[in-house]
């Protein structure tokens, strides 16, 4: 069977990056991380080709025109997109591909790959994110309000996800994400195998009739 597309989304600051990194480190043979292209500038500590492929707006638009991106979105005025070829190649080898993308991209990925598995990571309470940002003191009050508005908008999409996983204790959350992906994959293996048996049997029956 081909690999599974696993989409991980979550509110800004919920820790989804850490969860994805841990999954990759612990199960390097089972997962491939899709490194997105973005037109936003690198933040401190980010490296080209590791967190993102950082490109100009012009290059992004050119890539879009040439259909090199599987899905894309505009977030906070910057382009973000998933490189098509990497995802397709990895899936063919049977590896699960992780897309860490926002809500609109998640729904687009689901439309392209109906079997993809959509996980939304949440904090135990909305206030947890609010206080984390407040205490950090690096964002202005306006910025914090803007993020709360964005999170409220994103909350509308959670109903379209396959699972919500709470990041209360990080270790428990990582394990839960991994277990749920394995379960999903096993179930798909089973239904695919059963489908193949029916296909074979019905195909045989059409031959007998002719």
- Residue ranges in contact with ligand 5GP by CB under 6 A: 36, 40, 71, 73, 75, 80-82, 100-102, 105
In contact, 34 and 98? CB cutoff 8 Å: yes
Closest residue to ligand 5GP, judged by C-beta, is 105
Q: Which is nearer to ligand 5GP, 19 or 101 (CB)?
A: 101
Nearest distance from C-beta of residue 132 to ligand 5GP, angstroms: 15
Q: Which is nearer to ligand 5GP, 36 or 63 (CB)?
A: 36
Q: Which is nearer to ligand 5GP, 153 or 202 (CB)?
A: 153
Nearest distance from C-beta of residue 22 to ligand 5GP, angstroms: 16
Nearest distance from C-beta of residue 127 to ligand 5GP, angstroms: 20
- Write the DSSP assignment of 4-69 as a string of letters: PEEEEEE-TTSSHHHHHHHHHHH-TTTEEE-PEEESSPPPTT--BTTTEEE--HHHHHHHHHTT-E
Nearest distance from C-beta of residue 27 to ligand 5GP, angstroms: 20
Going from the C-alpha of 80 to that of each of 28, 36, 74, 160, 201, the distances in angstroms are 25, 7, 6, 21, 45
In contact, 161 and 117? CB cutoff 8 Å: no
């Amino acid at each position: 069977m081909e690999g599974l597309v696993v989409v991980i989304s979550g509110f800004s600051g919920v820790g989804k990056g850490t969860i994805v990194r841990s999954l990759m480190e612990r199960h390097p043979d089972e997962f491939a991380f899709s490194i997105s292209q973005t037109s936003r500038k690198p933040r401190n500590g980010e490296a080209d080709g590791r967190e993102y492929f950082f490109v100009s707006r012009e290059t992004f638009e050119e890539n879009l025109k040439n259909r090199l991106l599987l899905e894309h979105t505009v977030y906070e005025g910057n382009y973000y997109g998933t490189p098509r070829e990497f995802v397709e190649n990895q899936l063919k080898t049977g590896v699960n591909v992780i897309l860490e993308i926002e809500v609109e991209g998640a729904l687009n990925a689901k439309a392209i790959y109906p079997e993809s598995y959509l996980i939304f990571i949440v904090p135990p309470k909305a206030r947890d994110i609010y206080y984390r940002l407040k205490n950090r003191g690096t964002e202005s009050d306006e910025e914090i309000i803007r993020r709360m508005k964005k999170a409220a908008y994103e909350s509308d999409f959670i109903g379209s996800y396959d699972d919500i996983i709470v990041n209360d204790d990080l270790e428990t959350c990582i394990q839960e994400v991994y277990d749920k992906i394995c379960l999903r994959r096993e179930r798909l293996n089973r239904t695919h195998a059963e489908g193949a048996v029916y296909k074979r049997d019905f195909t045989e029956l059409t031959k007998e009739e002719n």
